[in-house]
Amino acid sequence: MTQPSYTALIVDDEPNNRENLARLLAQNCPTINVLGTAASVAEAVNQCKRFQPEVVFLDVEMPGGNGFTLLGKLAPVPFKVIFVTAYDAYALDAIKCSALDYILKPIDKTELINAVEKLEPKAFQRQQLDNLGAFLQGEQKKIALSLADEIRLVKLEDIIRIEADNNYCHFWLSNDEEVIVSRHLGHYYDLLKGLGFVRVHQSHLINRTFLDRFIKKDGGYLVLTNGHQVPVSRTQKEQVILLFSDLR
């Protein structure tokens, strides 16, 4: 069976970065056909309209705006997005909830290959693309979870809690399902901290919507509406108490 190929655009204001990424893609990702590059938001808008790429490798900071500005100008976005940036401090709020992946510079070859492997056959692209465009317009809030054999869109309102387990994260959903993702908890904390999620322990991130009660004894722990008990670190106790005050 012939492996599908994808047309691509590289958007980065640094010539060396564009050349390096194009070289890495050519050497390691034969399914990617780079049609062009752009160095600014304005140039990227024109190139996207000209080439109509299926995937865009997008930097965050650029002249004339940033990567988010570009996506806003093109919403609903007609391509998949893989961020490639040196800025790890971006929570990416809305955008990262639907972006295919987020790679930090300097680019790790394995991470790039893994990101490209997340591209789906064209027949299955439309739902993902529509969700990204809809999220940019504020119509829904979902997060893309990359599993072993699929990329799954999950509504934030359905996530009860997330628990770290070494290099993995366990997601517990409102339908009692458990989903395991190969990512660090810090990644999801940066992503979700402004969207109703609170880190109450080094290994635990909870959706405040599902809070039931705070048990002060035995070091302190939370009980969620699904009955799960989540420990609260000593440094987070004051924040948890304030959290319950805010919900009154």
Domains of the chain: 6-136 (3.40.50.2300), 156-246 (2.40.50.1020)
CB 45 within 8 A of CB 24: no
Q: Mean pLDDT, the chain, as a whole number?
A: 82
The pTM for the full model equals 0.52
C-alpha distances in angstroms, 58 versus 34, 71, 100, 174, 236? 13, 10, 11, 33, 36
| pLDDT tens sequence across 114-137 | 889 888 654 344 444 444 444 444
pLDDT at 195: 81
Which stretches does DSSP call E strand in 17-90? Answer: 32-38, 55-58, 61-62, 65-66, 80-85
pLDDT at 125: 46
| Of the candidates 201, 189, 194, the residue with the CA atom closest to the CA atom of residue 237 | 201
Q: What is the CA radius of gyration of the chain?
A: 20
CB 79 within 8 A of CB 53: yes
φ, ψ for residue 6, nearest 5 deg:
-135, 130
pLDDT at 96: 53
At 154, list the tokens: 């999950």
Question: Is the predicted pLDDT of residue 89 greater than 60, yes or no?
Answer: no
C-alpha distances in angstroms, 29 versus 3, 194, 233? 11, 35, 43
Beta-bridge partner residues of 149? none
Average pLDDT for 35-43: 95
